[in-house]
Amino acid sequence: MKLRFLLLLLTVLPNSLPAQSAPETGKPFVIEYYYKTKWGHADEFLQLFKKNHYPLLKKQVEMGRMLKVWMDQSRYHTTEDGRWDYRVTIVFKNSAAANEPFDEDAMKKQLWPDQATYLKEEQRRFEILDAHWDLPIKTMDLDGK
């Protein structure tokens, strides 16, 4: 009986979900990356980000995979559940560039020959986070139909 119900649910569920349109592949594709650090570690996170991740992003801008990268910091405090310390916005060339597999390993080895130090510092960068989330952004045309 349980198996029959599960099979019925699996066949009906996809039809009941709202349709999502695929991003247009020719247009820039924007993703915001949010970082919430443990209290007192925001400066350390920023230092490690600038040293060990930002050069990798800049290299991808130079290659044309990304069009632009920038970081924002909130000016004032919010509630703890809504707090984030840094938001990195990346504008990819298109949705394919953002979503298709991309091998960064060769670039990482070129940029950071001392891989042991690089890996240790990247591990630390994520150890001092309380949360991290990625949010693809869809621009709304308010003047269009």
Distance CA 72, CA 74 (A): 7
Report pLDDT digits (tens) over 7-18. Answer: 343 444 444 444
Q: Is the dihedral of CA 127, 97, 18, 4 positive or negative?
A: negative
Task: Tell me the percentage of the chain whose pLDDT exceeds 70.
Answer: 83
User: How confident is residue 78, by pLDDT bands cut at 50, 70 and 90?
Assistant: confident
73-82 long-range contacts, Cβ below 8 Å, gap at least 24?
none
> Which range, 21-25, 44-48, 77-81, 137-141, is most confident?
44-48
Domains of the chain and CATH, by start: 27-136 (3.30.70.100)
Of the two residues 32 and 15, the one the predictor is more confident about is: 32
Distance CA 114, CA 38 (A): 27
**How much is the average pLDDT of 127-143?**
94
With a CB cutoff of 8 Å and minimum separation 6, the contacts of 81 are none
